[in-house]
Chains A and B, each alone.
Chain A
Amino acid sequence: MAANYWASTQRRHWLFTREKLADIRDGLRERDKVTHSQFPLPDQRLLNIYFNQQLIKLGKRMSTRQQAIATAQVYLKRFYTKNEIRQTNPYLVLTTAFYLACKMEECPQHIRFVVGEARGLWPEFITHDVAKLGECEFALISEMSSQLIVHHPYRTLTELQTDLSLSSDEVALGWSVINDHYLTDLPLLHPPHVIGIMAIIIAVVFKPAHPGNFGNSAQSALAATMRDGGMNNLAYALSDKTGPGAPRIHKLVQWLAESDVDIKAVVECTQELLSLYEVWEQYSEKHCKELIGRMVKSKNLDK
């Protein structure tokens, strides 16, 4: 539920172990080996970056809130644990996820408007027919068993802002880190409060050199710092409860020690984020676009 993550369908049905998630994906691949070898796709995280950029483009002209984009990204992840991406038109699925997330996050957009905007962006992949999106909405809801309420880590960040006396720069950086975690499998692997705390730690430990301008993603601000021995700083800060270090970090570490938060999980999340920033350097929008386009066109998935 909204207040109660512990009883939520998100915790009961949409939280996986790493092994389980790998099994599910292997299963999808096994079912359709031929298509898999015929249509290679980039690393899942690179695809996620591409999808996220498309969602942001779609949301831009409709003044959509970040949380609706985040919910749409979670819907995509859930949907693709049940369906092989190569059997779908990803442009239709992401437009539908966006349309549904906007309704769920109480910033609804008219279906005709959404289809119109999507056609403006990807005319070769989205038809005029709004019924296509309506039908895809049925598939999306059905595959998610109508479990549409998503708990986001943004709330942990804002709730702890005062307790941990976070500066506005730290909150902004933490917010961008949360935006970035949707590009990984983390939303399917860890509860939102663990992600939220990871974002706070990163924001406090890796104080960015040029505060105030992180944009949507924290990648540019953090990638280099985290790579250049930043992880050691983090491990050091977290393991040493009494030693020196900045008083801000000291206070945070103490707070963590007193809370019930799973520190191991937080560290794991941090590593996942670091590896996202590494893989990000290989990202090419053009490459993703070509591979997806070829797959959709040759399989007639847009028909």
Chain B
Amino acid sequence: MFTPLSTEALDASRRPGAYVSKVRVRDRYHIVGFISSGTYGRVYKAIGKNGQKGEFAIKKFKPDKEGETIQYTGLSQSAIREMSLCTELSHANVVQLEEIILEDKCIFMVFEYTEHDLLQIIHHHTQPQRHAISAPMVRSILFQLLNGLLYLHTNWVLHRDLKPANILVTSSGAIRIGDLGLARLFYKPLNSLFSGDKVVVTIWYRAPELLLGSRHYTPAVDMWAVGCIFAELLSLRPIFKGEEAKMDSKKTVPFQRNQMMKIIEILGLPRKETWPGLAAMPEYPQLQSLVLHRQPAHFHRGPNLEGWYQSCLKNGAYSASSSVGTPGADGFDLLSRMLEYDPVKRITAEQALEHPYFANGGPISGNCFAGIESKYPHRRVTQDDNDIRTGSLPGTKRSGLPDDSMMRAAKRVKE
């Protein structure tokens, strides 16, 4: 097939001193197919060539286009964050970066390939009918996830976007925290963690302090998301499946009333007595108006996470005598500590790893598939686009500066 000269090669021939990558993606990897796309760009599956062994996932960041020509317009801050953090990080439960190639005005981040992710595994358990994920498997997933998160938090990294689709699983059952596109260092940042990115974390996994407009958030936001993921692994449905309120024309961030309601329906109203910082939250008046205007019965029934948990165990046929086992009372205790309203009291990753849920009940396998007969389907790789070249991409015009977290958040509603 005729391959046109890359724009880079043309540039370089014209101008001495132009940037030319020393490494070329297509010299090192053979693209097998297309995996997924997002606002950031596209992910391809690849196999190594010329001595490079193994399977890889290559994340290609969308280049900017001005009219028909792709131009250098400055990298987005989220791309810079992900590149710099992934380069530093190395842990068995965090996705492993192989290399970053800057070529043809694009960034290619080459990661190890993971066959599964939690979204896909949860989905598989609802097909053709619901069948629960076994209790030991949930325990192994959660333990590995917390282990990776403890590593991130001790290194002052907040993930800020934990959700089932971002929790990757290798074919040998190892959990890898992926997509650090929203991750940030939280050690005395120059700007507050609020400025710059107004919306963080997919709405269903968003911690209550963020919903209430907190500016001083902490690793506790990631722990809330882990609690939501734990609940979802057991019930196979998002526990707080709210509808996202859209940003208005003035681009002010709206109060996520519906999402807050979903949480209140299960956890009861947050109270000043048990969450001292509550009244200082920017959106506290909104919360009060919510109470005044709607007073359905569940507002007064009090917290019933335990009720939710018991019916979840019942629906999933979780019990000590069943083949799937049960997360038991320890599981409930851990879940309730992760879904604690007050971020100051919420359990930390370190404390969670020492919780009786893990300490009791025997060894935990580093392979979450250990003892499981059935096979999970492989990641879908399509053939309709395995041309990684720049020209094949529908580009969008973006400015270099704004963080694309808003666009990402908006897109998630459709997912």
- Output the nearest chain A residue to B88 by Cβ-Cβ distance: A1
Question: Which residues of the other chain, A, contact B72 by a CB distance below 8 angstroms?
Answer: 130-135, 137-138
Q: Is B80 an interface residue (CB 8 A)?
A: yes
Tell me which residues from 144 to 162 in chain A have a Cβ below 8 Å from any Cβ of chain B: 145-149, 155
B17, B77, B100, B399: which contacts A103 (Cβ < 8 A)? B77
Q: Compute how far the CA of A123 lies from the CA of B71 in the bound complex, rounded to whole angstroms.
A: 22
Q: Is A85 an interface residue (CB 8 A)?
A: no
Q: Compute how far the CA of A108 lies from the CA of B77 in the bound complex, rounded to whole angstroms.
A: 8
Please give the distance in Å from B58's CB to the nearest CB on chain A.
Answer: 15
Tell me which residues from 157 to 204 in chain B have a Cβ below 8 Å from any Cβ of chain A: 157, 184-185, 187-191, 196
Tell me which residues from 65 to 80 in chain B have a Cβ below 8 Å from any Cβ of chain A: 71-75, 77, 80
A110 pairs with B17, CB closer than 8 A: no
Please give the distance in Å from A35's CB to the nearest CB on chain B.
Answer: 13
Knowing A105-B190, A136-B19, A149-B88, say if A111 contacts B102 (CB, 8 Å).
no
A106 pairs with B189, CB closer than 8 A: yes
Tell me which residues from 251 to 288 in chain A have a Cβ below 8 Å from any Cβ of chain B: none
Q: Compute how far the CA of A1 lies from the CA of B399 in the bound complex, rounded to whole angstroms.
A: 29
- Output the nearest chain A residue to B23 by Cβ-Cβ distance: A142
Question: Which residues of the other chain, B, contact A138 by a CB distance below 8 angstroms?
Answer: 19, 72, 102, 105
Q: Is A220 an interface residue (CB 8 A)?
A: no
Tell me which residues from 40 to 77 in chain B have a Cβ below 8 Å from any Cβ of chain A: 71-75, 77
B75, B88, B90, B400: which contacts A110 (Cβ < 8 A)? B400
Q: Is A100 an interface residue (CB 8 A)?
A: yes
Q: Is A189 an interface residue (CB 8 A)?
A: no
Question: Which residues of the other chain, B, contact A2 by a CB distance below 8 angstroms?
Answer: 155-157, 185, 187
A111 pairs with B19, CB closer than 8 A: no
- Output the nearest chain B residue to A96 by Cβ-Cβ distance: B74
B22 pairs with A142, CB closer than 8 A: yes
Stretch at the interface among A4-12, A173-181, A242-250: A4-12
Q: Compute how far the CA of A108 lies from the CA of B195 in the bound complex, rounded to whole angstroms.
A: 11
A107 pairs with B191, CB closer than 8 A: yes
Task: Report the count of interface residues on B (CB-CB < 8 A).
Answer: 38
B80 pairs with A107, CB closer than 8 A: no
A3 pairs with B19, CB closer than 8 A: no
Q: Compute how far the CA of A8 lies from the CA of B401 in the bound complex, rounded to whole angstroms.
A: 27
Q: Is A65 an interface residue (CB 8 A)?
A: yes
Question: Which residues of the other chain, A, contact B83 by a CB distance below 8 angstroms?
Answer: 141, 146, 148
Q: Is B393 an interface residue (CB 8 A)?
A: no
Q: Compute how far the CA of A182 lies from the CA of B109 in the bound complex, rounded to whole angstroms.
A: 31
Q: Compute how far the CA of A301 lies from the CA of B100 in the bound complex, rounded to whole angstroms.
A: 28
Knowing A2-B156, A110-B399, A148-B84, say if A134 contacts B71 (CB, 8 Å).
yes
Please give the distance in Å from A302's CB to the nearest CB on chain B.
Answer: 10
Q: Is B370 an interface residue (CB 8 A)?
A: no
Instruction: List 21 A–B pairs whose Cβ atoms lie within 8 Å, in order of A's numbering.
Output: A2-B156, A4-B155, A7-B88, A8-B88, A107-B190, A108-B401, A111-B73, A111-B401, A130-B74, A132-B72, A133-B72, A134-B74, A134-B75, A137-B74, A138-B72, A141-B75, A142-B19, A146-B100, A147-B84, A148-B83, A149-B84
Enumerate the 3 nearest inter-chain pairs by beta-carbon distance, A residue then B residue, closest first: A134-B72, A111-B74, A2-B156
Residues of B within 8 A of A (CB): 15, 17-19, 21-22, 71-75, 77, 80, 83-85, 87-90, 100, 102, 105, 154-157, 184-185, 187-191, 196, 399-401
12 further A-B pairs in the complex, CB-CB below 8 A; given A142-B102, A146-B83: A1-B155, A2-B155, A67-B190, A103-B75, A105-B190, A107-B190, A108-B77, A108-B401, A134-B71, A134-B73, A136-B19, A148-B87
